[in-house]
Amino acid sequence: MSKNKLQKFAEMESFRNVFQCAAADLGTSRDATGMCGHWSERCFKNQHPIVLELGCGRGEYTVALARMFPDRNFIGVDIKGARMYHGARTALEEGLENVAFLRTNIEFIDRFFAPDEVDEIWITFPDPQMKKVTKRLVGTTFLQRYQRFLRDEGLIHLKTDSPFLYAYTEAMLQANSYRVEVQTDDLYRTLQQDPILSIQTYYEQQWLSRGLTIKYVRFALAHRDHFVEPQVDIERDTYRSYGRGHVRSDQETA
């Protein structure tokens, strides 16, 4: 591990807005942070709604949402500590008390929150996981996890560059009859007046600069017992062959 990363990890230990498990617990389902059910009183010290950004990377979007909505609390979640360091540091420097970061594998996300503790979820530019449906962050495997802690009818926002993931999400929503609030395959053409458009994630800026359109879906996750995984054949994204690593210039991996 590079010295730079070690320094960031050491510094992050002292950040009061970062919650992370010891390395040994990162791959387990244990909530070693002890925050499950206690985010409002122990972290934010208020009862404002809690919003998650899953796969937050450097946390620019989490921080930007927190600036825009001071009456909501935002938690950026990612497995890469050296990335979230940047967002956590910015939030501390700006005195943003409505921002926190949780370092974990999203597969274990339901261990860190109690039923109904979360109000909304943003999923921003996830890997479309074209080969593994159970790893898709908007797949039914993950939706089952989310409903354990997201309030009934809590909103899920997906932003993606991927036609594959967008088509899959459309089929999944239809198969499960979820209530869709917004669905567009070209966000910046259709929702021009929405204030949320004034902020973009890092990857979103990269994909936009390559001339790709951004797709956006907002739907309500009504709690249910049975989930239907759609059986659809979807054309794979071809442009992904250049690899996501080329999008980010600094090539951080931890």
Ligand X SMILES: C[S@@+](CC[C@H](N)C(=O)[O-])C[C@H]1O[C@@H](n2cnc3c(N)ncnc32)[C@H](O)[C@@H]1O
Point out the residues that are catalytic: 127
The answer to whether 201 contacts ligand X (rule: CB under 6 A) is yes
Alpha-carbon distance 128 to 142, whole Å? 13
Sheet containing 18-20: give its strands across. Answer: 18-20, 99-103, 73-78, 50-54, 118-124, 150-160, 215-221, 179-184
Residues 232-251 touching ligand X, rule: CB under 6 A, are: 244
The answer to whether 62 contacts ligand X (rule: CB under 6 A) is no
Measure CA 220 to chain center. Answer: 16
Alpha-carbon distance 156 to 71, whole Å? 19
Q: Which of 106, 158, 165, 221 binds ligand X (CB under 6 A)?
A: 106
Q: Residues near 169 by Cβ (< 8 Å), separated by ≥ 6? A: 138, 158, 160, 217
Q: Which of 5, 72, 80, 145 binds ligand X (CB under 6 A)?
A: 80
Q: Which region, judged by CB under 6 A, interacts with ligand X, from 14-22, 120-128, 164-172, 185-193?
A: 120-128
7 residue type, one letter: Q
The answer to whether 56 contacts ligand X (rule: CB under 6 A) is yes
Q: Which of 19, 44, 113, 125 binds ligand X (CB under 6 A)?
A: 125
Least separation in angstroms between residue 229's CB and ligand X is: 19
Q: Which region, judged by CB under 6 A, interacts with ligand X, from 74-82, 111-119, 150-158, 219-227?
A: 74-82
| Consecutive H or E run containing 63 | helix 60-68
Least separation in angstroms between residue 177's CB and ligand X is: 27
Q: Which of 36, 79, 171, 212 binds ligand X (CB under 6 A)?
A: 79
Alpha-carbon distance 109 to 29, whole Å? 9
Q: Which of 202, 214, 216, 217 binds ligand X (CB under 6 A)?
A: 202
Q: Which region, judged by CB under 6 A, interacts with ligand X, from 19-27, 40-48, 171-179, 198-206?
A: 198-206
The answer to whether 25 contacts ligand X (rule: CB under 6 A) is no
Is residue 203 within 8 A of residue 57, CB to CB? The reply is yes
The answer to whether 139 contacts ligand X (rule: CB under 6 A) is no
The answer to whether 199 contacts ligand X (rule: CB under 6 A) is no
The partner residues of 53 in beta bridges, in order of sequence, read 76, 122
Q: Which candidate, 196, 205, 198, 180, places its Cα nearest to that of 57?
A: 205
- List contacts with ligand X (CB under 6 A): 55-57, 78-80, 83, 105-107, 124-127, 201-204, 244
